[in-house]
A and B are shown apart, each in its own frame.
Chain A
Amino acid sequence: MTATVPAGVTPEPGEKGNGVAIEVSDLTKVYLHGPKAVDSVTFEVREGEIFGLLGPNGAGKTTTIKMITTLTSATSGSIRVFGVDAARWPQKVRQMLGFVPQAISVDGDLTGYENLLIFAKLFFVEREERNSRIREALDLFGLGDRADDLVKHYSGGMMRRLEIAQALVNRPKLLFLDEPSIGLDPFSRKQVIDHIKQLNRDFGTTILVTTHDMAEADELCDRLAIMNLGKIAVSGAPRELKRSIGGDVLTVAVSGKVPDSLPAELGSVVSIEKGTVKVLTIDGERAIPRITEFFEQNGATVDSVSLSRPTLEDVFMKYTKTSLQQEGSFREARSARRSITRHGS
Chain B
Amino acid sequence: MSTIQRSVSSAFTIAEMEARKIRHDSTELWMRTVQPALWLLIFGEVFNSIRNLAPGGFSYMQYIAPGVLAQSVLFVAIFYGINIVWERDVGLLTKLLSTPSSRTAVVVGKAMAAGVRGIFMGIMLFALALVIGVNLRFDPLDVAGVFMVVVLFAMCFACLSMTLASFLKTRDRMMGIGQVITMPLFFASSAIYPISIMPGWLQVISAYNPLTYVVDAIRSLLLTGDYSGVPFDILVLLGTTVFFVLCASTMLKRLIE
Contact = CB atoms under 8 A, between A and B. Distances in A.
Given A101-B95, A107-B92, A121 B257 contact: no
B100 A94 contact: yes
Contacts of A264: none
Contact of B6 (A101, A118, A124): A124
Contacts of A69: 98
Contacts of A91: 3, 100-102
B91 interface: yes
Question: Which of B1, B3, B89, B100 is the most central at the interface, judged by chain A CB atoms within 10 Å of its CB?
Answer: B100
Contacts of B17: 107, 110, 114, 118
Given A71-B98, A72-B256, 10 more contacts: A69-B98, A70-B98, A71-B256, A94-B101, A101-B94, A104-B91, A107-B92, A121-B16, A122-B96, A123-B99
A258 interface: no
Interface in A126-156: 150
A95 interface: yes
B253 A72 contact: yes
Nearest to B7: A91
Chain A to chain B: the 8 pairs with minimum beta-carbon distance, closest first: A105-B91, A103-B91, A95-B100, A99-B98, A122-B99, A121-B13, A105-B95, A101-B91
B90 interface: yes
Given A91-B100, A107-B17, A110-B20, A71 B94 contact: yes
Contacts of A98: 98
Contacts of B98: 69-71, 94, 97-99, 101
Contacts of A71: 94, 97-98, 253, 256
Interface of B: 1, 3, 6, 9-10, 13-14, 16-17, 20-21, 24-25, 89-92, 94-102, 253, 256-257
13 contacts: A71-B94, A71-B97, A91-B100, A91-B101, A104-B91, A105-B90, A107-B21, A109-B24, A110-B20, A110-B24, A121-B10, A122-B100, A124-B6
A85 to B, nearest CB: 16
A91 to B, nearest CB: 5
A92 B6 CA distance: 12
A188 interface: no
Interface of A: 31, 66, 69-72, 91-92, 94-95, 97-99, 101-105, 107, 109-111, 114, 118-119, 121-124, 150
B25 A109 contact: yes
Given A107-B17, A109-B24, A122 B101 contact: yes
A105 B99 CA distance: 13
B256 A105 contact: no
Question: Which of B14, B16, B95, B102 is the most central at the interface, judged by chain A CB atoms within 10 Å of its CB?
Answer: B95
Nearest to B88: A103
Contacts of A121: 9-10, 13, 16
Contacts of A114: 17, 20
Contacts of B257: 31, 72
B253 A118 contact: no
Contacts of A122: 10, 13-14, 96, 99-101
A66 B99 CA distance: 13
B91 A102 contact: yes
Question: Which of B9, B95, B98, B253 is the most central at the interface, judged by chain A CB atoms within 10 Å of its CB?
Answer: B98
A183 to B, nearest CB: 13
Nearest to B257: A72
A270 B95 CA distance: 54
A103 to B, nearest CB: 3
A66 B94 CA distance: 9
Given A104-B90, A114-B20, A123-B100, A99 B253 contact: no
Nearest to A170: B99
Contacts of B101: 91, 94, 122
Contacts of B25: 109
Given A94-B99, A119-B99, A105 B16 contact: no
Question: Which of B24, B91, B96, B99 is the most central at the interface, judged by chain A CB atoms within 10 Å of its CB?
Answer: B99
A109 B21 contact: yes
A98 B98 CA distance: 8
A150 B10 contact: no
A19 B98 CA distance: 23
Nearest to B25: A109
Contact of B16 (A97, A102, A118, A150): A118
Contact of A103 (B10, B20, B90, B100): B90
Contacts of A92: 100
Contacts of A119: 95, 99
A128 to B, nearest CB: 15
Nearest to A91: B100
A91 B105 CA distance: 12
Question: Which of A102, A105, A111 is the most central at the interface, judged by chain B CB atoms within 10 Å of its CB?
Answer: A105
Contacts of B16: 118, 121
Nearest to B101: A122
A166 B24 CA distance: 21
